Chains A and B, each alone.
Chain A
Amino acid sequence: MAPSGLLIRKMDEMLPRGSSLWADTLRNLVHRRSAIAGATMLFFLIMTATLAPLIATHDPEMVLLGVENVKRRAAPCIHLLGCPPDQPQHLMGVDGNVRDFFSRMVYGSRLSLQIGFSTVSFAIVVGGLLIGAVSGYVGGWVDNLLMRLMDVILAFPYLLLAIAIVTVLGPGLINALLAIGIVSIPIYARVMRSSVLSIKEMDFVLADRAIGVPPARILFRRIMPNALTPLIVQGTLGIATAILDAAALSFLGLGAQPPTPEWGLMLSEERNQLFSAPHLVFFPGFAIMLTVLSFNLLGDGLRDALDPRLRH
């Protein structure tokens, strides 16, 4: 073997083993109990959503009136727990339109995740990658104008502006998601802008500029990848808020429309039956809470794991 090869190998052994940011983060993350709890809950949720057709016992939108001998808003009937075998089994009972509630809950997980990911992706792309990055990189009057616009959006109470936007666009799930996406733009724009502002003064960016790399390439290929971390943390926490707000809009009748199996809508449809059929109110709200909790726990864990000050 050539001496230079030996030398390199020797140096390689002397240096500490290299580790990437993401490997470090992952190592940090698995040491945090809350993050593990969040990730586990999320794993089950994603599995439920993907395998919904296999898990669900009925068609979520099928009205069982005349199909089965079951009453409206019947309480849960589980054969294993002593429900008489001559009654049809409904794990979470039957709703006001005589549909199997368990199947509706299972399909609801799909919507919930789609809602969370789609609104936040929209807000990250428009708010973070466009407005925030341009604002931070270009600076000057562009920055001023964009940030004042963001201030105005932030001046409204979050959910109320979303309500106002939906009243303009018209009720419906897509419009509700668009509204929530729009009102959450400023958060991502601000986070991205502050990262870009600090990164653009770093030496490697100055070096790029000195050798004449075009500004767009510097922004998108050099600065952006380094500014993504806080955006990911914010995004994970943002999914939690987005799910909560979409459920609230559906509850108010501005989001998903019947017969969609959306948890907020399901809760709103049965809320007057609180005292007579509490299970129909309990399950959807509990599911929303668990979903939101899992994203909150994971987001908190990610933030702590990515924070170099908290590294041990």
Chain B
Amino acid sequence: MIRYIISRLLMAVPVVLGILFVTFALARLIPGDPCRAILGEKATDVVCAEFIREKGLDRPIPVQFALYLGEIARGDFGTSFRTKQAVTEMIVERLPQTIELTIAAMIFASLFGVLLGMIAAYWANSKVDVAVMIGANIGVSMPVFWLGLMLAYVFALLLKDTPFWLPPSGRLTSGVTVENLTVLWGLAPGHTLYGLVAFISNLVILNALITGNWVALGDAIKHLILPAVALGTIPMSIIARMTRSSLLEVLGLDYIRTARAKGLREFLVIFRHAMANAMLPVVTVIGLSLGSLLSGAVLTETIFGLSGVGRIMYDSITARDYGVVQAFVVVIALIYLLANLAVDLSYALLDPRIRLS
């Protein structure tokens, strides 16, 4: 097992270098003056000369790449010319919200996807199955941003005075707040754990759980439902299709017939015997869907007025602060890589054939 983990980690190294090289190359390909592309149109020649010397943009390309790798390794992803804020700071501030949204969408997608897929497979070729599969086909064809707007229209406007009303934007109702954990625990900036605690503090749901703030917890969850459903619909449909076909295949195997023949209750046949083997491809799809979730976050956060990483990318796009956009692309690609690594390792735990081969 350890051997498998190490070999898998080593395989990730060239991909990380590749990701960094692609983003490095992209940043150098910006047409025109790199200085003014990063510092803005109004930068003077003196400022630009200084900037180019400081950033090493007058050095040979391989040296520049080495410098870039050094910066990334030190956790320096650059600074926004617009807000003068370091990208790392923005990550601590904004990433928790995106993580919350992505996890919520993933829970929604896997829970309902697997459930619907199982229903469709169990009653294969029935009306229920056809309905679920038509729904799944529509689901994968859904533009995330449109679905989000339509959900907001239905749940925030049409159902306004019913108990089903859900807020169309924001993270918490104004007036509802959560404690700042760094203040609560008396951590000063510069403390080794400051960044981590500030990060956790920004995960509103986790924060509310830690401090026992049930009002904020309920409010945060209520605000998260619509964005999570909008973002999770495409992966949910893909997961439902995958679960259906994978479970159908397994249900036709001999050992399932044996299990039924020996009089096992149907519930156990499906959940303990069939699902155990049908889940592997489903786990793959769940892992792969993370990429579309992280991409979709840019759209979903824009629609629902959430100020996560996606929103900051959108704002930076509109402000032409492209340095920040590219920095976040690197950050998200690295997160995606780590998550895929985790999925791969979890297979090895689920399926002994993989770690032994």
- Mark A residues whose CB is within 8 Å of B: 34, 148-149, 151-153, 155-161, 163-165, 167-170, 240, 244, 247-248, 251-254, 264, 267-268, 271, 274-275, 278, 281-282, 284-286, 288-290, 292-293, 296-297, 300
CB under 8 Å from chain A, chain B span 3-61: 14-15, 18-19, 21-23, 26-27, 29-31
Q: Which residue of B14, B142, B149, B336 is within 8 Å of A156 (Cβ)?
A: B336
Determine the chain A residues whose CB is within 8 A of the CB of B295 once the complex forms: 157-160
A281 adjacent to B291 (CB under 8 Å): no
* B138 in the interface (beta carbon within 8 A): yes
Q: Is the CB of B143 within 8 A of A163?
A: no
Of B73-81, B118-126, B321-329, B346-354, the one touching chain A: B321-329
Known contacts A152-B19, A274-B149, A296-B140; is-contact A160 B299 (Cβ 8 Å): no
For residue B65, CB closer than 8 A to chain A, the reply is no
Q: Which of B183-191, B208-216, B311-319 contacts A (4 or more CB under 8 A)?
A: B311-319
A163, B141: Cβ atoms under 8 Å? no
The A/B interface has a contact count, at CB < 8 Å, of: 137
Across-interface contacts of A286 in B (CB, < 8 A) = 146
**Is residue B91 within 8 Å, beta carbon to beta carbon, of the partner chain?**
no
Question: Of A158, A164, A271, A289, which is within 8 A of B141 by CB?
Answer: A289
Is A253 touching B332 in the complex (CB atoms < 8 A)?
no
Cβ < 8 Å to A, chain B residues 147-178: 147, 149-150, 152-153, 157
| Beyond A271-B145, A285-B143, 7 additional pairs, beta carbon < 8 A | A156-B19, A157-B290, A247-B143, A252-B299, A254-B317, A288-B143, A297-B137
Contact of B332 among A157, A168, A289, A297 (CB under 8 A): A157
Q: How far does the Cβ of A33 sit from chain B's closest Cβ, in whole Å?
A: 9
Some 21 contacts from A to B, beta carbons below 8 A apart, are: A151-B15, A152-B21, A155-B336, A157-B294, A157-B336, A159-B292, A159-B298, A164-B26, A167-B317, A167-B326, A240-B141, A248-B299, A251-B299, A267-B143, A274-B153, A281-B150, A285-B145, A285-B146, A285-B147, A293-B137, A293-B138
B153 CB → nearest A CB, Å:
6
Residues of B within 8 A of A163 (CB): 298, 313, 317, 325, 329
- Residue contact B325 to A164, C-beta cutoff 8 Å: yes
Determine whether the beta carbon of B30 is less than 8 Å from that of A168.
yes
CB pair B291–A157 under 8 Å, yes or no, is yes
With A164-B326, A285-B146: A157-B292 Cβ-Cβ less than 8 Å: yes
- Who on chain B is nearest to A247 by CB? B143
- How far does the Cβ of B27 sit from chain A's closest Cβ, in whole Å? 8
- Please determine whether B329 and A161 come into contact, CB atoms closer than 8 angstroms: yes
- Chain B at the A interface: mostly helix, strand, loop or mixed? helix
Seen from chain B, the residues whose Cβ lies within 8 Å of a Cβ on chain A are 14-15, 18-19, 21-23, 26-27, 29-31, 137-138, 140-147, 149-150, 152-153, 157, 290-292, 294-296, 298-299, 302-303, 313-314, 317-318, 322, 325-326, 329, 332-333, 336-337
Structural contact, A148 and B14, CB atoms closer than 8 A: yes
User: Quick one: given A247-B143, A289-B142, are A155 and B26 in contact (CB under 8 Å)?
Assistant: no
Given A157-B332, A271-B149, residue A252 in contact with residue B298 (CB < 8 A): yes
Contacting residues, chain B, for A248 (C-beta < 8 A): 143-145, 299
**Residues in A neighbouring B329, C-beta threshold 8 A:** 156, 160-161, 163-164
CB-defined contacts of B149 to chain A, threshold 8 Å: 267, 271, 274, 281, 285
The answer for the CA separation of A160 and B299 in the assembled complex, in Å, is 11
Question: Across the interface, do B317 and A168 meet the contact criterion of CB distance under 8 Å?
Answer: no
Chain A residues with CB under 8 Å of B157's CB are 275
Q: What chain A residues lie within 8 Å of B29 (beta carbons)?
A: 168
Contact residues in A for B318 (Cβ distance below 8 Å): 253
A169 CB to nearest chain B CB (Å): 8
Alpha-carbon distance between A297 and B134 when the two chains are bound, in angstroms: 10
Residue among A247, A252, A290, A292 with the highest chain B CB neighbour number at 10 A = A252
Q: Please tell me if the beta carbons of B137 and A34 are within 8 angstroms of each other in the complex.
A: yes
